[in-house]
C-alpha cells in the first residue's frame, strides 16, 4: 500500500507544480513582477530642508531620466535602465521601477505628505513614495505648496498639468515648444521630450511655491 | 459507487498542495533572479552634467544680447541628490560672423536670475558685426570636472546669431478666439480602434490619449497617416475610400512621419530604448524596412526629408542634424559637427525661427546673410511655430495662439508687404501627436491633423495664393 500511495502523491505534486507554473507564466504575471520595489526601495522618512532651488530640483529630476515608469510609483535607481520593463498598464500593483507623472512631480518638487505643509523635503530616489496628488489635483493647485499660474509666465521647473498628465518644464526651445521632463507612460519611461503642452488648452500652469532661487 | 480510500485522498491532496507551493516558490525565485539579473550598477552620480540654453538666433539692431545657460550637475558634498545647486562654471566662445578665431568669454553666475543663471555678454565689437556672430560654450562641474558642450558640435557647428535686418512687422493684435475658418475639405478620417481603416490609441491608466501621432502628404495628394499604435500607415488617396494600409515596424510610441516623392517613408521615433538615443527608421513604399539609425542627441522633435536624406531637430543642441545621407548613415560625431539652427530649404537657404514671448521672428537666410525677415507680434501669447515654409515668393507660417483656457492656430501667408492672407484654424486635438506634426504644406494647400474622442482626421485648407 505504501509503495503505491507515494507515487500518487508525487505525481500529484509534479502535475500541480507544472500546472501552476504554466498557468502563471501563461498569464504573464511572473514576467512583469520584477519585485523592484521590494528588492530596492525603502520607506525612510524624508529630510526637511530649508533651502531648495530650481537648479537643485532639475538635478534631482535628471537622476530619474531613463529609469522607467510605474503607475502610482515613486522609486527608482540611477542605472539608465528601466529595471521593470513591460509592466501591463492595467495592473497598478506590479511594484516596478519608476515614478508616474504626479509622483515624479511630487518628489522633484520636494513636497510633504501633509497637504497643509508647504515646506521642502528631500526624498531620496530609492524612497518609494507617490504623494497625495494626482495630475488633476496638481492642475487645480491643490495643496499648500502649489498654485495655478498663467502659462505664459512659466519657467523651468514649473509644471504643465492636464486632468490626466503632468510634466515639468526643463527648458524652453527657440521655436516656442518646451523641453519637458516627465514620467510619460510605461512605453515611454521617464525622460526629456519636446512638447507643446504650454499652448494646449487641456493643460494649465502650476507653480510650486517657495523656491529660494 | 466505488468508495475512494481516505488515505489515497490525503496523499493526492498533500501532493497538490505541495505542488502549488513549489510552483509558486519556483516562480518567485525566478522572478527575483530575473529582477536582479536586469538590474545593473548605478551611474557615477558625480558624472552627471547637463546644460540648457535658449539661443538668440535673430537679433535687432542695438539689441543687447546676453548668452544665458543653466547647468545641472551633482550637488557638492556627500549627497548628490541633496538638491543644492551644483558648483558650475564655463566659457562661451564667440566670434564675429562665421570665420576666424573664437574669443573666450567666461560665464558668470547671475545669482538673482531664476533661469539662465550662467551668463556672458557678447562683446560689443562682435555684437556690432554686420554679419552677426557665431558661438558655442563649454560648461563644467567644478566638483567633478565633468564637462558638456553646447551645441555638441562646438567650434565645428556653432550656433549662429544673425541680425534680422529690415524685417517686415506683422501685428496680429489680440486674437479673436472662436472664429476659425472652415476647411476646404476633410481629406482623411478614421475612428479609433484596431480594425481595418481605424487608428489606434496608445494605452495607459494615467496617459493622455495618444494616437495618429503624425502624417504627411505625398505629391499626388495622398494623405499618409501614421497609426503607430497599430504599427501601420493608412493611405487616403483623393476620392478613394476606404484607406489602404501599410504595415511598418515601428515602436508604437509617439513618432514623426515624412514621406518622400517616391512614397518611401521615414519615421522619427521620439522615444529611444534603454540607454539609447531615438531612431530614424526608413521604409520603402510597401513598408519594407530599409534600416534604422540613431540620432546623435538625447531627443528630437521633428523630422524633415530633404534631397539627401532625413534630418532631425535634435536637443539639447537645438539644431537640425543629418542622420542619413544618400543611403549612408552619418556618424554621431559628424551629425553634431553638421548641426544647423535653421531648417534647410531646397535652394540651399535656411529658414530660421525664433519665438520669444509674444513675438516670433522668422528669417530666410542665404549665403550672404538674411534675405528677408518678418517680426510677428501678438497681444495674445504665442505658442510654438508649427510650420514655416516657402510657397513661391511667399512664406506660410502657422503659429499657435493661446490663453490659459483656449488655443487656436493662426495661419499667415507672408509676403514682402506683410500678411497677404490670414485666418485661424481650430486646434481640435483630443489625442496627443508628435510636437510639430500638426500641419503640412503641399503645393498651395495646407493640411491640418486633428482629433476628437470619436477619431482622427486631416483637413485641407486651400490657400488660393497666386
Dump pLDDT digits (tens) for B109-145.
Answer: 998 899 999 999 999 999 999 999 999 999 999 999 9
Check CB contact of B54 with chain A, cutoff 8 Å: yes
Please indicate, yes or no, if residue B3 is contained in any of the structural domains.
no
Q: What is the pTM of this model?
A: 0.90
Pairing of strands B133-141, B118-121: unpaired
Angle at B203 between CA B287 and CA B434, to 5 degrees: 55
Same domain, B214 and B99: no
Cβ atoms of B137 and B155 within 8 Å: the answer is no
Question: Residue B219 is placed in which grid cell?
Answer: 505629391
In-domain check, residue A19: no
DSSP A26: H
Task: Work out whether the CA dihedral A82, A85, A88, A92 comes out positive or negative.
Answer: negative
The domain boundary residue, chosen from B146, B162, B178: B162
Residues 285-324 (B) with a CB less than 8 A from some CB of A: 298-301, 315-316, 318
Residues B270, B155: one domain? Answer: no
CB-CB neighbors (< 8 A) of A21 in chain B? 23, 26-27
Query: Considering the domain boundaries, does residue B329 fall inside one?
Result: yes
Amino acid A25: pLDDT: 44
In chain B, residues with a C-beta closer than 8 Å to the C-beta of A191 are 271, 298-299
ipTM entry: 0.91
Same-domain status, B128 and B175: no
CATH of the domain at A105: 3.90.1720.10
Let me know if residue A22 belongs to a domain. Answer: no
Would you state the cell numbers that stand for residue B466, as one nine-digit string? 497666386
Contact in structure between B163 and B190 (CB atoms under 8 Å):
no
Look at residue B366 and tell me if it is in a domain.
yes
Which grid cell sits at B256?
514623426
Which member of B20, B30, B205 has the closest CB to residue A71?
B205
Q: Cβ(B412)–Cβ(B168) under 8 Å?
A: no
Mark which residues 413-442 of B lie under 8 Å from A by CB: 427, 429, 435-436
**Residue A115 lies in domain:** 42-208
Q: Is B177 an interface residue toward A (CB < 8 Å)? A: no
Would you write out chain B's pLDDT as a tens digit for each of its 466 residues? 444 556 555 555 655 555 555 554 444 444 444 444 456 788 888 889 999 999 999 999 888 899 999 999 988 887 888 888 899 999 999 999 999 999 999 999 998 899 999 999 999 999 999 999 999 999 999 999 999 999 999 999 999 999 999 999 999 999 999 999 999 999 999 999 999 999 999 976 557 899 999 999 998 899 999 999 999 999 999 988 899 999 999 999 999 999 999 999 999 999 988 778 999 999 999 999 999 999 999 999 999 998 889 999 999 999 999 999 988 999 999 999 999 999 999 899 999 999 988 999 999 999 999 999 999 999 999 999 999 999 999 999 999 999 999 999 999 999 999 999 999 999 999 999 999 999 999 999 999 999 999 999 999 999 987 6
In chain A, residues with a C-beta closer than 8 Å to the C-beta of B316 are: 171, 179
> Is B237 part of a structural domain of the chain?
yes
Question: For residues B213 and B232, is the Cβ–Cβ distance under 8 A?
Answer: no
Q: Do B48 and A39 touch (CB under 8 A)?
A: no
Q: How many domains does chain B have?
A: 2
Q: Do B41 and A79 touch (CB under 8 A)?
A: yes
The domain total for chain A is 1
Q: Which of A4, A65, A173 to mutate to test the interface with B (most CBs of B within 10 A)?
A: A173
Q: Which of B142, B162, B182 is the last residue of a domain?
A: B162
CA dist., res. A162 & res. A170, Å (int): 17
| Pick among A17, A160, A210 to test the B interface (most B CBs inside 10 A) | A17
Answer whether B399 touches A (CB < 8 Å). Answer: yes
- Structural domain range at position B97: 45-162
| CB spacing of B83 vs A122 below 8 angstroms | yes
* Together in a domain, B203 and B118: no
**Residue B225 and residue B363 in one domain:** yes
Residues B193 and B139 in one domain: no
> Is there a single domain that holds both residue B146 and residue B220?
no
- What CATH number is associated with residue B85? 2.60.40
B13 vs B6: CA distance, rounded Å: 11
CB burial string B212-222: b at 16+ within 10 A, e below:
bbbbbbbeebb
Beta bridge pairs of residue A49 = A120
- Identify the CATH number of the domain in which residue B207 sits: 2.120.10.30
User: Does residue A2 form part of some domain?
Assistant: no
What is the grid cell recorded at B424? 485661424
Q: Residue B8: inside a domain, yes or no?
A: no
> By the CB < 8 Å criterion, does B261 face chain A?
no
Amino acid at each position: 500500500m505504501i509503495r503505491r500511495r507515494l507515487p500518487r502523491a508525487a505525481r500529484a505534486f509534479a502535475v500541480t507544480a507544472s500546472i501552476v507554473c504554466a498557468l502563471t507564466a501563461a498569464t504573464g504575471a511572473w514576467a512583469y513582477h520584477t519585485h523592484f520595489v521590494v528588492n530596492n526601495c525603502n520607506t525612510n522618512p524624508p529630510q526637511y530642508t530649508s533651502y531648495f532651488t530650481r537648479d537643485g530640483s532639475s538635478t534631482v529630476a535628471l537622476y530619474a531620466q531613463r529609469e522607467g515608469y510605474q503607475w502610482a510609483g515613486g522609486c527608482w535607481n540611477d542605472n539608465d535602465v528601466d529595471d521593470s520593463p513591460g509592466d501591463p498598464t492595467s495592473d497598478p500593483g506590479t511594484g516596478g521601477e519608476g515614478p508616474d507623472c504626479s509622483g515624479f512631480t511630487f518628489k522633484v518638487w520636494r513636497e510633504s505628505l501633509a497637504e497643509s505643509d508647504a515646506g521642502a523635503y528631500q526624498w531620496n530616489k530609492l524612497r518609494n513614495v507617490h504623494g497625495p496628488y494626482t495630475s488633476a489635483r496638481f492642475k487645480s493647485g491643490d495643496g499648500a505648496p502649489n498654485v495655478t499660474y498663467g502659462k505664459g509666465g512659466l519657467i523651468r521647473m514649473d509644471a504643465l498639468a492636464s486632468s490626466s498628465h503632468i510634466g515639468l518644464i526643463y527648458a524652453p526651445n527657440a521655436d516656442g515648444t518646451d523641453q519637458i521632463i516627465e514620467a510619460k507612460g510605461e512605453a515611454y519611461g521617464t525622460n526629456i521630450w519636446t512638447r507643446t503642452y504650454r499652448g494646449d488648452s487641456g493643460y494649465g500652469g502650476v507653480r510650486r511655491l517657495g523656491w529660494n532661487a | 459507487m466505488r468508495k475512494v480510500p481516505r488515505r489515497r485522498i490525503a496523499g493526492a491532496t498533500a501532493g497538490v498542495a505541495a505542488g502549488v507551493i513549489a510552483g509558486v516558490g519556483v516562480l518567485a525565485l525566478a522572478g527575483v533572479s530575473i529582477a536582479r539579473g536586469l538590474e545593473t550598477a548605478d551611474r557615477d552620480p558625480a558624472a552627471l552634467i547637463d546644460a540648457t540654453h535658449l539661443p538668440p538666433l535673430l537679433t535687432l539692431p542695438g539689441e543687447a544680447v546676453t548668452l544665458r545657460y543653466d547647468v545641472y550637475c551633482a550637488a557638492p558634498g556627500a549627497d548628490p541628490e541633496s538638491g543644492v545647486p551644483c558648483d558650475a562654471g564655463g566659457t562661451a566662445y564667440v566670434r564675429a560672423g562665421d570665420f576666424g578665431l573664437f574669443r573666450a568669454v567666461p560665464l558668470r553666475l547671475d545669482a538673482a536670475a531664476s533661469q539662465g543663471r550662467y551668463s556672458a555678454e557678447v562683446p560689443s565689437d562682435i555684437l556690432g558685426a554686420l554679419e552677426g556672430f557665431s558661438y558655442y560654450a563649454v560648461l563644467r562641474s567644478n566638483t567633478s570636472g565633468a564637462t558638456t558642450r553646447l551645441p555638441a558640435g562646438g567650434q565645428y557647428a556653432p550656433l549662429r546669431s544673425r541680425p534680422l535686418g529690415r524685417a517686415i512687422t506683422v501685428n496680429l493684435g489680440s486674437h479673436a478666439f472662436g472664429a476659425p475658418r472652415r476647411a476646404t475639405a476633410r481629406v482623411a478620417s478614421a475612428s479609433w480602434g484596431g480594425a481595418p481603416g481605424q487608428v489606434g490609441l496608445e494605452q495607459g491608466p494615467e496617459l493622455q490619449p495618444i494616437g495618429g501621432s503624425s502624417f504627411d502628404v505625398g505629391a499626388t495628394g495622398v494623405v499618409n497617416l501614421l497609426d503607430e499604435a497599430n504599427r501601420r500607415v493608412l493611405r487616403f488617396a483623393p476620392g478613394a475610400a476606404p484607406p489602404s494600409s501599410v504595415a511598418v515596424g515601428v515602436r508604437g510610441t509617439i513618432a514623426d512621419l515624412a514621406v518622400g516623392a517616391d512614397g518611401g517613408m521615414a519615421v522619427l521615433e521620439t522615444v529611444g530604448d534603454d540607454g539609447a538615443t531615438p531612431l530614424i527608421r526608413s521604409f520603402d513604399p510597401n513598408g519594407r524596412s530599409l534600416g534604422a539609425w540613431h540620432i546623435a542627441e538625447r531627443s528630437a522633435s521633428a523630422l524633415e526629408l530633404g534631397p539627401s536624406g532625413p534630418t532631425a531637430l535634435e536637443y539639447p543642441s537645438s539644431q537640425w542634424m543629418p542622420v542619413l545621407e544618400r543611403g549612408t548613415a552619418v556618424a554621431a560625431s559628424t551629425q553634431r559637427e553638421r548641426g544647423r539652427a535653421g531648417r534647410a530649404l531646397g535652394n540651399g537657404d535656411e529658414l530660421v525661427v525664433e519665438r520669444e514671448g509674444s513675438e516670433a521672428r522668422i528669417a530666410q537666410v542665404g549665403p550672404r546673410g538674411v534675405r528677408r525677415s518678418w517680426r510677428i507680434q501678438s497681444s495674445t501669447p504665442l505658442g510654438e511655430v508649427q510650420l514655416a515654409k516657402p510657397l513661391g515668393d511667399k512664406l506660410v507660417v502657422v503659429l499657435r495662439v493661446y490663453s490659459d483656457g483656449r488655443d487656436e492656430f493662426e495661419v499667415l501667408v507672408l509676403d514682402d508687404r506683410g500678411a497677404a492672407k490670414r485666418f485661424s484654424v481650430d486646434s481640435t486635438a483630443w489625442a496627443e501627436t508628435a510636437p510639430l506634426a500638426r500641419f503640412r504644406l503641399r503645393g498651395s494647400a495646407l493640411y491640418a491633423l486633428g482629433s476628437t474622442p470619436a477619431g482622427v482626421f486631416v483637413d485641407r485648407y486651400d490657400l488660393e495664393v497666386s
